[in-house]
């Protein structure tokens, strides 16, 4: 190095700096000298805003090539992609425009497709190209959502801000307080009756379950018999049609004028007609006697007093039967799984609906959040040997009254052994419901439950929602399912089940 002059050293340092700068430039620009290796695919997007030529292409998150060319076509923007050798992309693949973070560079993400579809070859096209939403589009949607929220806020403010609105709100809260206090007093005064009802319902549930288990084989036999009957009916249908054709031919031959037996047939018909005339004369005589008020039936038809008494009796019977027919009883069960606690809550409900727009509901809840502890001391020779503490879930109950106003059901009473109220909204008929319930208003943060319910096949439903929504320490997402039967459905099921010993 002593033979190299200072000028040469400076020149070598400059060359080294130029080489490093060129290397970093090529590296940052994603340039490679062997980029033409691999194969080409094309894909069409509605928009490629923000995507540059030479942008990266990834398959399942792994670098697989780059965008070689961007061109404009009639139905959007066409991209030519250079894919590395050895990376298989199939005909049902999908291409999406994604970005690295909120403000990061955009790239092409390809889902390679499934094995039952053939591979794409050089020059072929990916059929599905999905462009992501731009920041401008997201901003417009967020702005529209903000406008809607502002309009809702103004509407609520316009209702509550006035003195009349505040007075109505105060009156509603006072009415709810009076209602819950009254319902609580009713429950306290009738505690023994409620316990008796709970016990009877538990016994009924046990007997019903036992009955279903004992007759499981009979139910299966009924279903099997129905399947066999339908199969036999399908097989015998052709034969039945053939037999009907034979009957039709026999009738045609019977009325044929050239038939030798047609004369005797008409003679027999004439005799039958004479007998029918005599019968009609006797019926006419009986009718005349009834019109004159002769006989028991005649008196019933001609005596106005008897007629009025019978008519009044029938009207009263009809009114009683109409009220009984309008009264309906619903038995239901549902279970809800709370993800935060990894436990389920079970609900058994009894709904009495005297009218379509009104019902009463008694519901029992297996409330694992409410636990009851008991302590038992074990003695031996008068000395305490051990202390055992048992903890059990507390059984809660709800007693509600609901009234319908249009698509809304307003309900109030006891909810899970605390005073509360709620509202159910049916926007699309009886098969879908949105609801809010609140109870335990003595606490700083009342228990608020928001849910939606979808009813299908008339008897079954699924529901999801947010439990204890405003209490950050206890809130939880939940999902559940259940069923409900009317009294007439239960009667039908029980009549179809063979009872032991009958």
One domain, residues 411 and 299: no
Residue 243 lies in a domain: no
Q: Minimal CA–CA distance to 80: which of 38, 141, 140?
A: 38
Using a pLDDT cut of 90, give the percent of the chain over it. Answer: 17
Look at residues 297, 316, 335 and tell me which one is the last residue of a structural domain. 316
**Phi, psi dihedral angles at 396 (to 5 degrees):** -105, 165
Residue 401 lies in a domain: yes
More confident residue, 443 or 231: 443
**Phi, psi dihedral angles at 79 (to 5 degrees):** -110, 135
Q: What integer pLDDT is reported at residue 274 of this predicted model?
A: 75
CA distances in angstroms from 83 to 50, 66, 78, 129, listed in the order given: 21, 7, 16, 16
pLDDT at 154 exceeding the cut of 60: yes
Look at residues 86, 115, 130 and tell me which one is the last residue of a structural domain. 130
Residue 398 lies in a domain: yes
Q: What integer pLDDT is reported at residue 479 of this predicted model?
A: 93
Tokens of 241: 């049609």
Q: What integer pLDDT is reported at residue 450 of this predicted model?
A: 94
Output the CA torsion sign for 270, 276, 282, 283.
negative
pLDDT at 52 exceeding the cut of 80: yes
Q: DSSP per residue over 287-325, as a string?
A: HHHHHTT-HHHHHHHH-HHHHHHHHHHHHHHHHHHHHHH
Band (pLDDT 50/70/90 cuts) for residue 501 is very low
Residue 136 lies in a domain: no
Residue 17 lies in a domain: no
Residue 152 host element (H or E)? helix 135-160
One domain, residues 375 and 424: yes
Cα(378)–Cα(386) distance, rounded to whole angstroms? 5
Q: What integer pLDDT is reported at residue 408 of this predicted model?
A: 93
pLDDT digits (tens, 9 = 90+) for 201-251: 888 878 877 777 777 777 677 767 667 766 666 666 666 667 766 766 665
More confident residue, 414 or 50: 414
The mean pLDDT value for 149-172 works out to 78
Residue 232 lies in a domain: no
pLDDT at 171 exceeding the cut of 70: yes
Cα(29)–Cα(69) distance, rounded to whole angstroms? 15
Q: Which of 347-356, 380-389, 480-489 has the lowest mean pLDDT?
A: 380-389
Tokens of 330: 């619903």
Q: What integer pLDDT is reported at residue 372 of this predicted model?
A: 46
Residue 313 CB neighbour total at 10 angstroms: 10
Q: What integer pLDDT is reported at residue 441 of this predicted model?
A: 84
Burial class from Cβ neighbours inside 10 Å (0-12, 13-18, 19+) for residue 224 reads exposed
Q: What integer pLDDT is reported at residue 3 of this predicted model?
A: 67
Cβ neighbours for 270, distance < 8 A, ≥ 6 positions apart: none
With H, G, I as helix, E, B as strand and everything else as coil, classify residue 166: helix
One domain, residues 491 and 343: yes
More confident residue, 355 or 496: 355
Residue 425 sits in a domain whose CATH number is: 2.40.128
Band (pLDDT 50/70/90 cuts) for residue 455 is very high
Band (pLDDT 50/70/90 cuts) for residue 150 is confident
With H, G, I as helix, E, B as strand and everything else as coil, classify residue 278: helix
Number of H-type helices and E-type strands within the chain: 9, 18
One domain, residues 379 and 407: yes
Please count the structural domains in the chain: 3
More confident residue, 378 or 149: 149
Domain of residue 362 covers: 327-496
Q: What integer pLDDT is reported at residue 420 of this predicted model?
A: 92
One domain, residues 429 and 471: yes
pLDDT digits (tens, 9 = 90+) for 59-82: 988 888 999 988 888 878 899 999
64 contacts 95 by C-beta, under 8 angstroms:
no
pLDDT digits (tens, 9 = 90+) for 3-25: 677 888 888 888 888 988 888 87
pLDDT at 283 exceeding the cut of 90: no
One domain, residues 490 and 406: yes
Band (pLDDT 50/70/90 cuts) for residue 502 is very low
One domain, residues 284 and 340: no
CA distances in angstroms from 353 to 35, 101, 265, 404, listed in the order given: 76, 56, 64, 12
More confident residue, 31 or 1: 31
Q: What integer pLDDT is reported at residue 349 of this predicted model?
A: 92
One domain, residues 450 and 354: yes
Q: What integer pLDDT is reported at residue 226 of this predicted model?
A: 67
Tokens of 263: 């004369």
pLDDT at 323 exceeding the cut of 60: no
Q: What integer pLDDT is reported at residue 293 of this predicted model?
A: 67
One domain, residues 444 and 368: yes
One domain, residues 302 and 403: no
Q: Which of 81-85, 412-416, 495-499 has the lowest mean pLDDT?
A: 495-499
Residue 53 lies in a domain: yes
Q: What integer pLDDT is reported at residue 493 of this predicted model?
A: 64
Residue 363 lies in a domain: yes
DSSP state of 429: S
What does the angle CA 141 – CA 143 – CA 148 come to, to the nearest 5 degrees? 95
pLDDT at 31 exceeding the cut of 90: no
Cα(234)–Cα(224) distance, rounded to whole angstroms? 16
More confident residue, 237 or 453: 453
Using a pLDDT cut of 70, give the percent of the chain over it. Answer: 69
Cα(366)–Cα(343) distance, rounded to whole angstroms? 11
pLDDT digits (tens, 9 = 90+) for 374-405: 555 555 666 655 555 555 557 788 999 999 99
What is the pTM (predicted TM-score) of this model? 0.36
Average pLDDT of the chain to the nearest whole number: 78
Band (pLDDT 50/70/90 cuts) for residue 288 is confident
Q: What integer pLDDT is reported at residue 299 of this predicted model?
A: 58
Band (pLDDT 50/70/90 cuts) for residue 437 is very high
Residue 409 CB neighbour total at 10 angstroms: 19
Look at residues 112, 130, 148 and tell me which one is the last residue of a structural domain. 130
One domain, residues 311 and 347: no
The mean pLDDT value for 101-115 works out to 83
One domain, residues 437 and 407: yes
Cα(147)–Cα(169) distance, rounded to whole angstroms? 26
Cα(67)–Cα(44) distance, rounded to whole angstroms? 12
């Amino acid at each position: 190095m002593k033979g190299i002059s200072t000028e040469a050293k400076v020149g070598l340092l400059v060359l080294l700096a130029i080489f490093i700068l060129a290397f970093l430039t090529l590296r940052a620009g994603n340039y490679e000298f062997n980029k033409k290796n691999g194969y080409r695919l094309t894909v069409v997007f509605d928009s490629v805003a923000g995507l540059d030529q030479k942008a990266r292409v990834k398959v399942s998150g792994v670098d697989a090539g780059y965008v070689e060319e961007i061109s404009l076509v009639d139905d959007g923007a066409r991209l030519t992609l250079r894919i590395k050798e050895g990376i298989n992309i199939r005909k049902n693949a999908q291409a999406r425009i994604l970005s690295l973070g909120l403000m990061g560079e955009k790239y092409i993400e390809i889902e390679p497709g499934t094995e039952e579809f053939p591979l794409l070859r050089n020059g072929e096209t990916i059929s599905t190209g999905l462009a992501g939403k731009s920041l401008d589009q997201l901003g417009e949607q967020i702005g529209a959502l903000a406008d809607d929220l502002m309009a809702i806020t103004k509407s609520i403010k316009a209702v509550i801000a006035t003195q009349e609105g505040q007075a109505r709100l105060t009156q509603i809260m006072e009415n709810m307080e009076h209602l819950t206090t009254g319902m609580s007093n009713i429950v306290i005064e009738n505690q023994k009756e409620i316990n008796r009802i709970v016990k009877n319902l538990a016994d009924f549930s046990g007997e019903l379950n036992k009955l279903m288990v004992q007759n499981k084989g009979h139910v299966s036999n009924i279903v099997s018999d129905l399947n066999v009957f339908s199969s036999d009916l399908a097989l015998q249908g052709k034969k039945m049609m053939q037999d009907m054709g034979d009957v039709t031919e026999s009738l045609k031959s019977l009325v044929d004028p050239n038939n030798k037996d047609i004369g005797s047939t008409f003679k027999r018909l004439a005799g039958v007609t004479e007998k029918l005339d005599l019968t009609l004369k006797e019926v006419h005589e009986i009718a005349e006697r009834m019109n004159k008020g002769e006989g028991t039936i005649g008196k019933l038809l001609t005596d106005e007093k008897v007629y009025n008494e019978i008519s009044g009796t029938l009207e009263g019977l009809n009114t009683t039967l109409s009220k009984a027919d309008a009264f309906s009883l619903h038995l239901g069960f549902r279970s809800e799984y709370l993800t935060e606690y990894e436990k389920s809550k079970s609900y058994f409900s009894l709904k009495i609906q005297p009218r379509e727009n009104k019902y009463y509901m008694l519901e029992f809840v297996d409330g694992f959040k409410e636990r009851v502890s008991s302590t038992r001391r074990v003695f031996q020779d008068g000395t305490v040997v051990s202390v055992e503490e048992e903890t059990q879930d507390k059984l809660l109950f709800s007693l509600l009254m609901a009234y319908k106003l249009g698509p809304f059901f307003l309900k109030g009473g006891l909810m899970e052994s605390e005073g509360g109220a709620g509202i159910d909204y049916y926007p699309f008929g009886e098969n879908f419901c949105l609801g809010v319930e609140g109870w335990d208003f003595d606490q700083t943060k009342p228990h608020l439950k928001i849910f939606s319910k979808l009813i299908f096949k008339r008897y079954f439903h699924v529901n999801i929602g947010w439990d204890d929504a405003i209490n950050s320490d206890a809130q939880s997402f939940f999902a559940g399912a259940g069923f409900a039967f009317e009294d007439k459905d239960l009667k039908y099921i029980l009549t179809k089940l063979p009872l032991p010993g009958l």
